[in-house]
Chains A and B, each alone.
Chain A
Amino acid sequence: MTTDTVLDVRDLRVAFGPVEPVRGVSFELRRGERLGLVGESGSGKSLTALAVMRLARRATLRGEVLLEGRDLLRLKPREMEKVRGGRVAMVYQDPMSALNPVYTVGRQLEEAIRLHTRADRRAARERAVELLDDVGVPHPRQRVDQYPHEFSGGMRQRVMIAMAMCADPAVLICDEPTTALDVTTQARIMDLLDRLVEEHGTAVVLITHDLGVAAGFCDAIQVMYGGRIVERAEAERLYRAPVHPYSEALLGAAVDLSLELGVPIPTIGGAPPLAGELPSGCSFHPRCPVARDVCRAELPALEPLSGRSVACHLAAERAATFEESDVPV
């Protein structure tokens, strides 16, 4: 861990009783770095994010989550409350219901501001107006006194982003921030995020199942499956050469509009495993087109390979295949 690391997650495990939806996730995030966390529903990506924020109710957390050197999992609830929204903040995927309907947007922003800065009511209100303006809400001075139901989905998400960024956090976690929005708004929100994190030098964890969004935004991407990270690589390299069979399938499953009409859209057969019913060995083996016996028997560890990390018994072979075809891995 270098002094540049803002977030260092080590062997994070999230369990609900006997079921362990997140089994040993580790990654590092440097200042200003943008990390994508990609996977299907049920892969454990949202839960990982909630665990970092310690917002996963009734869950047992194990491992270490070091935010600027402090292990969040060891903090007392009071101390954690100060960290949340301050040094690390989160934007959620359902802007329509994520704001309290009985308070004005301004009041909710002010609450966040006053929790993490020394502003008094008037200063907080001014700051709230500034923030609204910054995230692109038109007529901020009027809108600050309006209620959430008077805002559209895209606008509400902007408000959520403003709330998350108000204390200039070191890490911003975005959990599918654009999934609930229409395509044009999606692009605008991603642009907004792009600009803001660039300006503030915020490190970002972007959780998404949309590879296009991840590709456009992230520096590096982690692929999650069955509660673990199965591949991590710089975005470009991953797209050019996905080593893990699941990554390859995911990329192949992205609908390519240039495909001919008669060609069936490639999908990954089967369904992601439920956290309580994981297959033996590598969790992907039932759906993997190149699974071997060793895959059924042993769980592959996440191992470094030419500057990326892969959790696959066949990683070296597959990387070699790419190299033979002159694709830099």
Chain B
Amino acid sequence: MLGFVVRRAATSILLLVAASVLVFVILRLLPGDPIITRLGATAGANPEAIDQLRREAGLDDPILQQYLDWIGGVLTGDFGQSYFSQFSVTDLIGRRIGATLELTAVSILFSLLIAVPAAVFCALRRGSWLDRLVTTGSTVGMALPQFLLGILLILVFAVELRWLPARGYVPFVDDPGENVRRMVLPALTLAIAAAPLILRYLRASMIEVLDSSYIRTAEGKGVPHRRVVVAHALRNALIPGLTMLGMVVGYTLGGVVIVEYVFGIPGLGSLAVESVFKRDYAVLQSVVLLISALFILTTLAVDLLYGVLDPRLRNGGARG
């Protein structure tokens, strides 16, 4: 088991490093020069000032040096200095990561709350009109990109019904009520977008499990129906569904970017978008790295969770 953990962790770290290199390299391939872009408005800027700024930003150093400086900083929690604002990247990230984490966590929670019971329900009543309705609904739902869904929800709940605010964010510590009010639509957007994925997968898994011999054994023992469904069937059906959870988190993290934009939430996603506009690569590379790290870590957690949930994997045994 320990070997498994170590190996997976090592792969994750390598993956993260490789991703950071990839992002870094691509950003450095750009033809322009961020400093010039920034000062571009002020025509005829002092060449010495330009050089000074470039030196400060470390843009004169060899690429490898720049990369190592960046990564070295990241490991100590210093993400570098923004090209365009007086705040350090760390500051910027620090101020915005809360919103993103909250949004991601709440969305995933919502999507599970929606999808898991629905999947169990559909699997138990396979072929019924309700089952068909739900599955058709999820096919259509999967065709709806997150930002379209977000806009739709805003149209209905904010513009037409005026029940909820369309945009904005208030930190939880400042005003829990407002925070929740503003979180509902964006979290729902991501949740509804991700739920069909979970539902489709879990439903199929559940149907397969419900046909297994051990379910019949449990029923034959006189285990009450609810317990059979949850403790015996769902417990087994969730295992392959874990891979789906990894994908869902990835999908949600990716969606966070656009959903934050749609709903005006000051999180990492909107920070990334802003930094592209400003050509502020110092910020962009760190934000992308951070979000990718979150994704990779979640996949790692999912894999490790597999080991916990499926005893057949623990002693290096094959699955199934």
Interface residues of A (CB under 8 A from B): 53, 55, 77-78, 81-86, 89-90, 92, 94, 97-102, 111-112, 115-116, 147, 149, 160, 163
Closest Cβ neighbor of B210 among chain A residues: A57
Q: How far is the CA of A286 from the CA of B34 in the complex (A)?
A: 90
5 closest A-B pairs (Cβ-Cβ)?
A85-B222, A85-B221, A84-B222, A97-B213, A100-B214
Q: How far is the CA of A160 from the CA of B218 in the complex (A)?
A: 11
> Is residue B317 within 8 Å, beta carbon to beta carbon, of the partner chain?
yes
Judging by beta carbons under 8 Å apart, are B223 and A102 in contact? Answer: no
B interface majority secondary structure: helix
Judging by beta carbons under 8 Å apart, are A81 and B225 in contact? Answer: yes
| Set of chain A residues within 8 Å of B232, measured between Cβ atoms | 100
| Set of chain A residues within 8 Å of B312, measured between Cβ atoms | 101, 147, 149
Most buried by B among A82, A86, A147: A147
Q: How far is the CA of A81 from the CA of B226 in the complex (A)?
A: 11
Judging by beta carbons under 8 Å apart, are B311 and A101 in contact? Answer: yes
Partner of A111, one of B221, B310, B311: B221
Known: A94-B213, A97-B213. A102 touches B311 (CB 8 A): yes
Judging by beta carbons under 8 Å apart, are B220 and A81 in contact? Answer: no
Interface residues of B (CB under 8 A from A): 212-214, 216-225, 232, 235-236, 239, 309-312, 317
| Set of chain A residues within 8 Å of B216, measured between Cβ atoms | 55, 92, 98
Closest Cβ–Cβ distance, residue B244 to chain A (whole Å): 18
Judging by beta carbons under 8 Å apart, are A53 and B220 in contact? Answer: yes
Partner of B223, one of A83, A94, A111: A111
Given A84-B222, A98-B214, 16 more pairs with CB closer than 8 A: A81-B224, A82-B222, A83-B222, A84-B219, A84-B221, A85-B222, A94-B213, A98-B213, A99-B214, A100-B236, A101-B311, A102-B235, A102-B309, A111-B223, A115-B221, A160-B217
Judging by beta carbons under 8 Å apart, are A97 and B212 in contact? Answer: yes
Q: How far is the CA of A129 from the CA of B89 in the complex (A)?
A: 61
Judging by beta carbons under 8 Å apart, are A102 and B236 in contact? Answer: yes
Closest Cβ–Cβ distance, residue A144 to chain B (whole Å): 15
Judging by beta carbons under 8 Å apart, are B310 and A149 in contact? Answer: no
Judging by beta carbons under 8 Å apart, are A98 and B223 in contact? Answer: no
| Set of chain A residues within 8 Å of B213, measured between Cβ atoms | 92, 94, 97-98
Q: How far is the CA of A160 from the CA of B213 in the complex (A)?
A: 12
Closest Cβ–Cβ distance, residue A216 to chain B (whole Å): 25
Closest Cβ–Cβ distance, residue B214 to chain A (whole Å): 4
Judging by beta carbons under 8 Å apart, are B217 and A99 in contact? Answer: yes
Please name 19 pairs of A and B residues whose Cβ atoms are closer than 8 Å in the assembled complex, sorted by A: A55-B219, A81-B225, A84-B219, A85-B221, A85-B223, A86-B222, A89-B220, A92-B216, A97-B212, A100-B217, A100-B218, A100-B236, A101-B214, A101-B312, A102-B310, A115-B221, A115-B222, A116-B222, A149-B312
Most buried by B among A83, A90, A102: A102
Q: How far is the CA of A138 from the CA of B197 in the complex (A)?
A: 46
Q: How far is the CA of A160 from the CA of B224 in the complex (A)?
A: 19
| Set of chain B residues within 8 Å of A112, measured between Cβ atoms | 221-222
Closest Cβ–Cβ distance, residue B237 to chain A (whole Å): 11
| Set of chain B residues within 8 Å of A115, measured between Cβ atoms | 221-223
Q: How far is the CA of A99 from the CA of B216 in the complex (A)?
A: 10
| Set of chain A residues within 8 Å of B235, measured between Cβ atoms | 102
Q: How far is the CA of A147 from the CA of B313 in the complex (A)?
A: 11
Q: How far is the CA of A163 from the CA of B223 in the complex (A)?
A: 12
Partner of B217, one of A83, A92, A102: A92
